[in-house]
Structure 1
Amino acid sequence: MAQKTLLKGRVLSFEQSPFQADPDQAARLHEAVLIEDGRIGAMGTAQALTAAHPDAEIHDHGARLILAGFVDPHVHYPQTAIIASWGKRLIDWLNTYTFPEEMKFGDPDHAAEIAGRYLDLTAAHGTTTMCSFCTIHPESVDAFFTEAQARGQRVVAGKTCMDRNAPDGLRDTAQTAYDQCRALIGRWHGVDRISYAITPRFSPTSTPEQLEAMGALWAEHHDCLMQTHLSEQTDEIEWVRSLFPEACDYLDTYEKFGLLGPRGLYGHAIHLEPRERDRLREVDAALIHCPTSNTFIGSGLFDMHGLMRDGHRIGLATDTGGGSSFSMLRTMAAAYEIGQLRGHPLHPAQLLWLGTAGSARSLRMDDRIGNIAPGMEADLVVLDLSSTPAIAQRVSQADDIWEAIFPTIMMGDDRAVAQVWIGGRRALG
C-alpha cells in the first residue's frame, strides 16, 4: 500500500521561467498537493484529491503557501560556526577566519557535529538541497554525506582541494587530491540522494599541476558537477593574474586545465570580462549569485539582468559563512536590493524561481527537485505569509498572490517556515 499524504493550502508550481515569460503568469496556484511514496503524485483541487485519495493523511495549511523546498547551490558548511565574522576583504577573511576553522575538520567528530548543526539550521529555514564545499579532509565529506543520508536529503558536496597559498595542515597535493576525490566519488556518488562535486577551491590555492589533475578527474567522471569560485573581487583577480601571467583572464586558468564545462558551477562571477561571459554561455555553465556574501565582504554587484538577458544559467545561493544568513528568503531579499542598485529590480516570481527551480537547474537537477509537478521528489516548504505582525499588516493590503508573497521575501525568516518535507517525510513542523 502506497503511503499518501495530502497537503492543503496555496500550492505554487512554476509552469515556465519568469525570466522568459510574464512573471505574473509564470506560476500556477493549486489547492492541494498529494505526496505518494516520496514523490509528488498530483496537484489539483482539495475536493477532488480528497475524494480520489480517501486514505491519505491530511495536513490542512489554510492560506499558507506550499512550494518546492529551497535549493542552495553554493555553500561552505564548515564555515557554519564563523558566519557573521566581522569586517574583512576576501583574502583577509579566508586567512583570519576560514582557514583556522577548516583546520578542525580532520576530526571526524567535529565534522559530524558541524554537519548536523548546518543541516538542522538550513532545514529550519526551508532549504532542502544544497551544494557544499567541504575541507581538504576526506572526513569532512564523509561527515556531511552521512548526516544528509540519515535525513534522506538530496545534496551535493566535495572535498576542497588546495596545494598552495594555504596554511600548513590545509594543503594536499595534486596526487593526494586526485586519489582522495576519486575514492570519495567511488564511495558516495550516486548513493541514495547524494552527488559528488569535484572542488578546487579557486585558482590561487591550486597549482597548475593540481588544476590539471582535477580536470583529468572530471573528464573521467563527467557526470559529476565541478564547483569553484570565479571573479569574486577585483584584488582576487589581480592575484590570479600574478599567479597565471600566461592566462588571458581568470576563466582561462580553469579552461586550459579542463575545468570549464556544462556541469561547472562558478560562484560569484561578478567582474567578468566579455570573453569570459561569452565562453560561460557557450558551454552552458552555471553562474551562482551570492548576494549577501557579495555585500558582506564588499565584492560587488552581480549583473543578473544582463546575464539572464544573454541566456546564462544562474542559481541563487547563501554562500554561508561568507554569506551572512542561512536563509534563502534573506538571500532573495538581497538579490532584490542588488537588482535595484543595478536598475533592474526582480519580480517576486523571479526571486522565488531563482531560489527553487533556477537553482535546481544550475545543479542540473530540475528534473527532480525545485518545483512541484507530478513525479518530482517531494521536497517542500510551507510558508506562513503572516509570520510576524509587520508582515501580516502589509499582507492584509495585498491585491494578488505576488503582493502577498513579497513581504515575506523581504522581511521573512525562519519564523515564516511552518513545515518542511524532505523526500516525502516531514522534517520540520
Structure 2
Amino acid sequence: MSELVSRAIRGSFFDFTGTATHPQKPADYARYVEEGLLLLNGGKVVSLQTWEAGRHLLTDKVEVTDYRGKLIVPGFVDCHIHYPQTEMIGAFGEQLLEWLQQYTFPVESQYHCEAHAAEMSAFFLHQLLSNGTTTALVFGTVHPQSVDALFSAADRLGMRLIAGKVMMDRNAPDCLLETPEESYSQTRALITRWHNRGRLSYALTPRFAPTSSPGLLAKVEQLRAEFPDTWLHTHLSENPQEVAWVKSLFPDHQSYLDVYHRYRLTGKRSVFAHCIHLEEGEWACLQQTDSSIAFCPTSNLFLGSGLFNLRTCGEKGIRMGIGTDVGAGTTFNMLQTLGEAYKVGQLQQYRLAACEAFYHATLGGARALDLDDRIGNFLPGKEADFVVLDPAVSALQQMRQANSRDIWEKLFVLMTLGDDRNIAHTWVNGQCVWQPVPEENT
C-alpha cells in the first residue's frame, strides 16, 4: 500500500459515503473521522482511515501535511453560477427581468474582448477557490471567447469545471444576439475543442426560454443528440413575470418546463436553476426524466423571486444541488449560501439540518451534476478535491465551537456564522491551489 501513496493529509474529516434520495437520509451515510489520515496517489484518493489505523503505511518518501485542529470536507460543488456577472455582484434595486436589462446585458457585452475575458476568468476562479469551491457549473456569455478564456484558466489549475457559451437569439440587445445557425456552429466548435479535455466538460447553455426562439431550441436539441454526454444548463421558473412571459411566447406548450421537454432537453445531466414557481406537472416531469435542480437561495432572496420548496424536492427524490448564482447571488461562499438556504426553509416550516445542507454542497451537488462517481467524498479512487476549514476564526466562532455538543452542531455553526475567513486551504486534483496570503509585518 505505501508504494501507492505519494502524499498524506492528517486532520479531522467529514464526508458522505453514499448518495441519498430523501432529505433525511444523508445522515445514514455521514462519516466523521476526528483523528484521520487521508492517503493520496497523485490526484486520486487511496483511502481515508483513522490515524492509528493508517500511520504504519507512511514512509520517509510520503509527504505528510498536518491539518490537526482543522476540519477537512470534500470540495464544494456550485451547481449554478455566472462568471461574467462577477463584476456586477450586489447591483441594486430590480427584480429579474429589469435586472437583466439594467445590469446583466451591459456587463456581458464586454466579453467579446479576449483580454477582458481572460482577466475576469482568472479573478472568478480565484474567488471560487478562495471560498472552497472546487467544481462549478458555469454560464459564460454569448461570445465564444468568454468560454475559451474560462476553460484555459481552469485547465491550467487542473480544476473540474463544466461551462458553456450562452445561446440567445431574441429579446436581448442586438450586440448579444446570434442566429440559430451561428449559435450551433460556435457551440459545436467549442464542444470539439474543450469537452472531455482534462477535467473540463461542456454544457449546452440556452439562457432561458424567453431568449430562445423555436429555431434556436431546435439547434440545441440537435447538439444534444450529436453530443449526448454533454450537459444542459438553463433557467426555469425563477420569477412570476418570467413564467407568464414564457406562456405568452410559447402558447402551444403546457408549461415552462414543457418548452424544454418538447425539445428533449430534460434528463440526466440537465440542470435547471431556480425552479421556484413550478406546477405539479413540472415537478413530475423533473422526477420522471431524472433531471436536476440548482437551488439558489441568495439570488432568490436578493431579486425577490420567491422561496424554493425544499420539502417537495426532497419528497420527490429529485436531484438537487446548491448554486451561489453570482452575480444575483451575493456571495461565492458556500457556507454563507447554506445559511441562507436554512432561512428559506425556516420561512416554509422546513428545518434544513446541517447534515442535509453539507450533503447538498458536496456529494449531493456532485450527484446533481452526474459526477458523484468522480467527486464528492473521500472514497478510494475519487478525485482529490477538498477544502480545509478553520472552524473558529473569530472570538464568536471560537466560543460557539467550544460549546457545541457534537459534529452536527459544529457544522451548523459553520454554515450560520461562517464565511470566506473559514477557508484555510483549497486542494484541487491532489495539489494545494489556494491558501491565504500571509500578512506582512508592519
So what's the TM-score if we normalise by structure 1?
Answer: 0.98
**Matching of residue 344 in structure 1 with residue 346 in structure 2:** no
In 1, the alpha carbon distance for the partners of 2:150 and 2:187 equals 15
The SS at the match of 1:182 is helix
- 1:279 aligned to which of 285, 309, 315: 285
In structure 2, list runs of 5 or more residues that go unmatched: 436-442
Contact 1:212 1:258 in 2 (8 A): no
- 2:236 aligned to which of 214, 217, 230: 230
In 1, the alpha carbon distance for the partners of 2:13 and 2:30 equals 10
In 2, the alpha carbon distance for the partners of 1:274 and 1:20 equals 20
Deviation string 1:124-151 (CA, Å, 9 cap, x unpaired) is: 0000010101001000000000000011
What is the aligned partner in structure 2 of residue 106 from structure 1? 112
What is the aligned partner in structure 1 of residue 32 from structure 2? 29
Deviation string 1:53-96 (CA, Å, 9 cap, x unpaired) is: 22221111112111100010111001010011111100111111
Shift of 1:46: 1.5
Q: 1:17 to 1:187 in 2, by over 3 A?
A: closer
Contact 1:174 1:209 in 2 (8 A): yes
What is the aligned partner in structure 2 of residue 85 from structure 1? 91
In 2, the alpha carbon distance for the partners of 1:408 and 1:28 equals 17
Deviation string 1:108-164 (CA, Å, 9 cap, x unpaired) is: 100010010000011000000101010010000000000000110000000101100
The SS at the match of 2:380 is coil
In 2, the alpha carbon distance for the partners of 1:217 and 1:25 equals 40
The SS at the match of 1:229 is strand
In 2, the alpha carbon distance for the partners of 1:86 and 1:21 equals 37
What is the aligned partner in structure 1 of residue 332 from structure 2? 326
Shift of 1:216: 1.2
Q: 1:24 to 1:209 in 2, by over 3 A?
A: closer
Shift of 1:414: 1.1
Contact 2:9 2:38 in 1 (8 A): yes
Shift of 1:8: 1.1
Runs of 4+ in structure 1 deviating by more than 4 angstroms, as ranges, are: 20-25
The SS at the match of 1:369 is coil
- 1:53 aligned to which of 58, 62, 79: 58
- 2:269 aligned to which of 263, 274, 283: 263
What is the aligned partner in structure 2 of residue 5 from structure 1? 7
In 2, the alpha carbon distance for the partners of 1:138 and 1:354 equals 31
What is the aligned partner in structure 2 of residue 419 from structure 1? 425
Contact 1:265 1:362 in 2 (8 A): yes
Shift of 1:25: 4.4
The SS at the match of 1:370 is coil
Q: 1:390 to 1:198 in 2, by over 3 A?
A: same
What is the aligned partner in structure 2 of residue 314 from structure 1? 320
Q: Which amino acid aligns with 1:6?
A: A
- 2:405 aligned to which of 399, 407, 429: 399
In 2, the alpha carbon distance for the partners of 1:105 and 1:10 equals 42
Q: Which amino acid aligns with 1:45?
A: T
User: After the TM superposition, which of the residue ranges 37-46 and 140-149 deviates more from structure 2?
Assistant: 37-46
The SS at the match of 1:361 is helix
The SS at the match of 1:169 is helix
In 1, the alpha carbon distance for the partners of 2:193 and 2:48 equals 37
Shift of 1:49: 2.3
In 2, the alpha carbon distance for the partners of 1:4 and 1:401 equals 30
Contact 1:26 1:349 in 2 (8 A): no
**Matching of residue 376 in structure 1 with residue 360 in structure 2:** no
Count of paired positions: 429
In 2, the alpha carbon distance for the partners of 1:309 and 1:252 equals 22
Q: Give the alignment of 1:55-74 within 5 angstroms.
A: 55-74=61-80
What is the aligned partner in structure 2 of residue 211 from structure 1? 217
Contact 1:13 1:373 in 2 (8 A): no
In 1, the alpha carbon distance for the partners of 2:97 and 2:15 equals 41
Deviation string 1:260-312 (CA, Å, 9 cap, x unpaired) is: 22221100001100111111100000011000000000111101111111111
What is the aligned partner in structure 1 of residue 439 from structure 2? none
In 2, the alpha carbon distance for the partners of 1:46 and 1:69 equals 21
In 2, the alpha carbon distance for the partners of 1:7 and 1:398 equals 25
The SS at the match of 1:251 is helix
In 2, the alpha carbon distance for the partners of 1:395 and 1:178 equals 53
In 2, the alpha carbon distance for the partners of 1:131 and 1:24 equals 26
What is the aligned partner in structure 1 of residue 438 from structure 2? none
Contact 2:5 2:46 in 1 (8 A): no
**Matching of residue 248 in structure 1 with residue 250 in structure 2:** no
Q: 1:186 to 1:17 in 2, by over 3 A?
A: closer
Shift of 1:15: 2.4
- 1:388 aligned to which of 372, 391, 394: 394
Root-mean-square deviation over aligned CA pairs: 1.3
Contact 2:23 2:356 in 1 (8 A): no
* Percent identity of equivalent pairs: 42
In 2, the alpha carbon distance for the partners of 1:116 and 1:337 equals 32
Contact 2:19 2:367 in 1 (8 A): no
So what's the TM-score if we normalise by structure 2?
Answer: 0.95
The SS at the match of 1:365 is coil
What is the aligned partner in structure 1 of residue 47 from structure 2? 42
In 2, the alpha carbon distance for the partners of 1:107 and 1:248 equals 40
- 2:143 aligned to which of 125, 137, 146: 137
Q: Which amino acid aligns with 1:5?
A: R
Shift of 1:323: 0.6
Q: 1:266 to 1:344 in 2, by over 3 A?
A: same
